[in-house]
Amino acid sequence: MTRSIERIRLHRLRMPLVRPFRTSFGTQTDRDVVLVELTLADTPSGWGECVSMAWPGYNSEYTDGAVAVMSEYLVPALVAGAGAQDPADADHRMEPIRGHAMAKAALSTAFMDAWLRREGRSLAGFLGATRAQVDCGVSVGIPAGEDLDALLAEVSLYVDAGYRRIKLKIEPGWDLVPVAAVRDRWPDMALQVDANQAYTRDDAEHLARLDPFNLLLIEQPLHEDDLYGHTLLAERCRTPICLDESILSLAVADGAIHWRATSVINIKPGRVGGYLASKAIHDLCLSRNIPVWCGGMLETGLGRAANLALAALPGFTLPGDTSASDRYFRMDITEPFVLDDGRLSVPTGAGIGIDPIDAALAEVRVSSVDLLPAH
């Protein structure tokens, strides 16, 4: 029997960040990246990026665990019999393995990229993109020593670069003062905040004090499991509540909207299991008049290219975290994405529309391993 998938190789990278990135759950100084390289018969390699962190801080997934579950369970499911035949079949084959959405998304994206390259179709076209460019926002971490002057200096760099939205990371003790300072300096800038689950229901009155700053939204203030708490918080705050970590599936998104736990949704393909799952959530939100935007996980150019294709769908009406390459990396592993009047262009080539540069990949690669050797 001829298998549809000829090779699956994992590349482990260490990508230094331009500056430390601190959130309520920790500080990153580099990205521990896993890339999936997947090859179909007579087809250029497809690429997928696993966006898990090195430790389970953002959610329960972490990089070593993602590698293990891909090796032991997900790859065998993909290649069983004749192997996955199309992107929907690839995702269906991985469904029996519970959780591990980021590992699934990496494999799903690599398969989809290779399949679309063979078909000569772009990911943007396949998903139903309606725009050639995407408005870009930027996420600003908590500065070292909670230095307000350092925060304002960093935000100033991004405003001058042309970003169309600023997102500030907040946590208890670092919220009202920095938001007030940024809003005072840039009264007309689109501004939002992200708590990464740092608050509790008891903080509702405190979070309502953000209302006067005319924010686009407050992102994931409470624990991801606490949908009812977000409903209660939404009743207390005029500022829209946006869910990120809570949105793990189409079903959760449907429930969160129904129970008014959220009025905006951040869609991260890695968090929900890939781009087909992301499109399904987008389509649901579009039918319910719920605005969505594309979140980021400090992706390389490969993950950024795929996110831009998603963010060009019609329901993505708010600027996402699809920042330019130089926001996070001095040297990316692809041709850099460069901001143009606050926007990035959506790749139009087959698949995700971009490839890694061999020399750049070699410079940051720690190891490579074949999970399915070429035959």
Which of 104, 167, 169, 279 is the catalytic position? 169
Strand 241-243 to strand 264-267: parallel, antiparallel, or no bridges (unpaired)? parallel
Give the Cα-Cα-Cα angle 218, 212, 268 (nearest 5 degrees): 15
Which residues, listed in sequence order, are joined to residue 40 by a DSSP beta bridge?
A: 5
Cα 218 from chain centroid?
A: 17
SS3 label, residue 116 = helix
C-alpha–C-alpha distance, residues 293 and 90, integer Å: 25
* H or E element, residue 7: strand 5-23
CB 84 within 8 A of CB 153: no
Question: What one-letter code names the amino acid at 284?
Answer: L
Q: Is 268 a catalytic residue?
A: yes
Per DSSP, which regions of 51-177 are E strands? Answer: 133-135, 137-140, 165-169
CA distance 83 to 79: 4
Single out the catalytic residue among 104, 167, 268, 279: 268
Rounded Cα–Cα distance for residues 176 and 183 (Å): 10
Radius of gyration of the chain measured on its C-alpha atoms: 20
CA dist 35 → 87, 204, 328 (Å) = 18, 40, 17
3-state secondary structure of 65: helix
**β-strand partners of 48:** 36
Is 279 assigned a catalytic role?
no
Which residues are tagged catalytic?
169, 268
